[in-house]
Amino acid sequence: MSEQFEPVIIGFTCNWCSYRAADMAGTARIKYPPNVRLVRLMCSGRLDPTFVLKALSNGADGVLITGCHPGECHYLEQNYKALRRYHLLRRTLIGFGIEPERVKLVWASAAEGVQLAKQIAGFVDEIRALGPLAWSMPSKQQLVAEPSVMEEVPA
Amino acid sequence: MSHNGSKPTEKPKFAMYWASSCGGCEIAVLNIGPKILDVDAAFDVVFWPVAMDAKYKDVEAMDDGSILLTLFNGGIRNDENERLANLLRRKSQILVAFGSCAIEGCIPGLANFSSQDQIFDAVYASVSTDNAGGIRPKTHTTVPEGILHIPEFYPVLKTLDQVVDVDYYMPGCPPESHQIATVIDLVLAVLEGKAELPPKGAVIGAGDSTCCDECPRQRNVKKITKFVRIHEMDAIDPDLCLLEQGILCNGMATRSGCGALCPQHNAPCIGCYGPAEGVVDYGARIMSALASVIDSRDPDEIERILDGIPDPAGSFYRFNLAHSLLRTGKVG
């Protein structure tokens, strides 16, 4: 087996849609790469940008944000909040020299297990192509106190 | 805390030091007016390079813990800064990270966006520099008289608490003089046994709310459709929330304590009092708040609105970069 770079990806999923979609993928025995570690939120609107920055600073190579399709938020319109945070976050990451493609927003309803699994697989490939998150300056090792925290999280 | 010196008649000792900073903190201390005489009456000022002549070796000769109170301003940019931080930590009973630089990096901390080479290129090799020989600083230079030393420039600027244990944090760029006066009064009251010191690690000389809470401007439900910069505006409504007028104002993430001075003078809060209580990452809090009040559900329109913030990273981390999650100077 070749030593392929296996990215660590943190996925923030909404309790009402994408978390159930991931669940459904599991029930239907649809496979998706184990690189993604899902964290359940009650809503994508709960996603504080701090979570994304913390994941990236603690060793994640990419962050996946998933929520209900526009117009279908369980809490009416909080997924639009997530959408705006996502756009602002990507712009800010550019200022830090971090590729904005490392953060991705995906809409997935509770019925879309197949689609979510496909999106996850695609995102893992994209991050694998980007390579490990390497700061443009100084090295990550110089900056991050606990670089390997995420490795202990079971897949 | 009472002073436990061997000679009861001796005044407690006071020190103030500047590391990587501009000197504004020192001016703010002197700006407390006649109260500076109280400081002089109550303390023996043993080390304050801006105000009086003193040598590092004089500090090294002092007993450990012999200075009661040290106000340390400035970030840790080079090995001289770090040596003094360690020295003053050892000699001081109470070490206060004084001002934004010492606490969170402040403007000097913005250099953490760039590598050491980029910084040196800008200083020694840009169009504004006459340096035909391409000279770069070296820590050791041999001259006929011997070897000259200059401090080693670190790859990142670190905050004081990233190199030594800090007892208290006093925010501001610089801390407001009335807040300094309040803290001095507290210390004097503690010396007289009339008050107790706050718990270690506390933020002193500031509030525990946000700048917005101190701002007298009228606030309504925010629906932002456009960001503008002050110079692009014909007139600023003096009574309405600046953010509601489309001006990027960081008040909602910034600790109270200044009395919302800038917004009261038609200038937005840029965050010099640092993160409000409970904020982990200052910039993330601003992103969270701003994105919540942008009035659009359309990705293209959102992008167009965000074009009104030309430098999001610099605007959100102007004071806090060295203490942010992504560009902390912490070496692990």
Band of pLDDT at residue A64, cut at 50, 70 and 90: very high
Of A70, A94, A144, the CB nearest to B332: A144
Count structural domains, chain A. Answer: 1
DSSP letters, A20-69, are HHHHHHHHTT----TTEEEEEES-GGG--HHHHHHHHHTT-SEEEEEEPP
| Inter-chain touch A53–B281, beta carbons under 8 Å | yes
Q: Flag whether residue A83 sits within 8 Å of chain B, measured between CB atoms.
A: yes
Q: In this complex, do B155 and A49 lie within 8 Å of one another by their Cβ atoms?
A: no
What's the Cα-to-Cα distance from A149 to each of A29, A55, A79, A153, rounded to whole Å? 29, 10, 29, 8
> Which CATH number characterizes residue A50's domain?
3.40.50
Does residue A121 belong to any structural domain of this protein?
A: yes
pLDDT score of A60 more than 80: yes
- A150: nearest Cα among A33, A58, A63, A64: A58
* Same domain, residue pair B20 and B145: no
Q: What angle do CA A102, A103, A106 make, to 5 degrees?
A: 130
- Determine whether the interchain pair B291/A87 forms a contact, defined as Cβ–Cβ distance below 8 Å: yes
The pair of three-digit structure tokens given for residue A129, joined into one six-digit string: 């192509």
Q: Based on the number of CB atoms within 10 Å of its own CB, is B79 exposed (0-12), middle (13-18) or buried (19 or more)?
A: middle
* Domain CATH number, residue B102: 3.40.50.700
The shortest C-alpha distance from A154 to chain B (Å) reads: 23
Domain count for chain B, please give it. 3
* pLDDT at site A134: 73
User: Among partner residues B115, B327, B332, which is closest to A96 by beta-carbon distance?
Assistant: B327
How far off is chain A from B64, nearest CA to CA, in Å? 30
Q: Are residues B168 and B277 in the same domain?
A: no
- Give the SS3 label for residue B20: strand
Amino acid letter, residue B125:
A
Rounded CA-CA distance B297/A108 in Å is 17
Q: Specify whether B127 is located in the same domain as B43.
A: no
Q: Report the amino acid identity of residue B137.
A: P
Q: Is residue B150 part of a domain?
A: yes
In a domain, B328, yes or no: no
Whether residue B276 is found in the same domain as residue B143: no
For A114-132, how does the pLDDT look when each residue is reduced to its tens digit (9 = 90+)? 999 999 999 999 999 999 9
Residue A76 in contact with partner chain B when CB distance is under 8 A: no
Mean pLDDT of B262-278: 96
Does residue B7 lie in a domain region? no
A135 occurs within a structural domain: yes
Residues B29 and B176 in one domain: yes
Do B38 and B49 have their domain in common?
Answer: yes
pTM of the model: 0.89
> How far B36 CA sits from the closest chain A CA (Å)?
40
Interface touch B306/A88, C-beta < 8 Å: yes
Interface of B with A in 130-159 (CB under 8 A): 155-156
Instruction: Report the pLDDT averaged over residues A130-147.
Output: 56
Please list, in sequence order, all residues whose beta carbon lies within 8 angstroms of the beta carbon of residue A1, skipping any fewer than 6 positions away: none
Closest Cα in chain A to B317: A92
Length of chain B equals 332
Are B279 and B179 a contacting pair, CB within 8 Å?
Answer: no
Domain containing A76 equals 9-145
- Pair B162, B148 in one domain: no
| Domain presence at residue A150 | no
B285 conformational bin, left if phi > 0, alpha if psi -120 to 50, beta if neither: alpha
Confidence of residue B300 (pLDDT cuts 50, 70, 90): very high
Report the residue of chain B nearest A97, measured CA to CA: B113
State yes or no: pLDDT of B86 exceeds 90.
yes
Q: Is residue A64 in some structural domain? A: yes
B22 and B161 part of one domain: yes
Joined tokens for residue B209:
């709310």
| B332:A91 CB<8 A | no
- pLDDT bracket for residue A3 (50, 70, 90): confident
A56·B326 Cβ contact <8 A: yes
Residues B139 and B167 occupy one common structural domain = no
A2 touches chain B (CB under 8 A): no
Same domain assignment for residues B36 and B65: yes
- Residue B202 maps to a domain: no
- Whether residue B12 is preceded by a cis peptide bond, meaning omega within 30 degrees of 0, is no
Average pLDDT, chain A: 87
pLDDT surpassing 80 at residue B1: no
B112-154 pLDDT, tens digit per residue, is 998 889 999 999 998 888 998 889 989 999 999 999 999 999 9
B131: exposed, middle or buried (Cβ count in 10 Å: 0-12, 13-18, 19+): exposed
Range of the domain at B257: 211-323
Q: Flag whether B4 is in a domain.
A: no
Q: What is the ipTM of this complex?
A: 0.90
Separation of CA A130 from chain center: 15
Residue B3 lies in a domain: no
Task: Say if CB B60 and CB B87 are below 8 A apart.
Answer: yes
Most B-contacting residue of A92, A98, A139 (CB-CB within 10 A), to test interface: A92
Contact B325 A49 (CB under 8 A): no
Q: How many helices (H) does chain B have, and how many strands (E)? A: 13, 9
Tell me whether residues B306 and A92 touch, CB distance under 8 A.
no
Model confidence at A95: pLDDT above 50: yes
Per-residue pLDDT of B151-189, as tens digits, reads 999 999 999 999 999 999 999 999 999 999 999 999 989
Are the beta carbons of B297 and A83 separated by less than 8 Å?
yes
Interface of B with A in 277-316 (CB under 8 A): 280-281, 283-285, 287-288, 290-292, 294, 296-297, 299, 302-303, 306, 309, 311-314, 316
pLDDT at residue number B9: 63
A17: pLDDT strictly greater than 70: yes
Nearest CA in chain A to B307: A91
A108 touching chain B per CB within 8 A: no
Chain-chain contact of A92 with B155 (C-beta, under 8 angstroms): no
Residue tagged 């401090």 (tokens): B151
Q: Is the pLDDT of residue B3 over 70?
A: no
Per DSSP, what are the bridge partners of residue B153? B78
Total CB pairs under 8 A between chain A and B: 108
Give yes or no for a contact between B57 and B80, defined as CB atoms under 8 angstroms apart: no
Asked if residue B307 and residue B269 are part of one domain, the reply reads: yes
Are residues B53 and B170 part of one domain? yes
Chain B residues touching residue A94 (CB < 8 angstroms): 313
Q: Is A1 inside a domain boundary?
A: no
Residue A145 is predicted with a pLDDT of 38
Shortest Cα–Cα distance, A41 to chain B (Å): 16
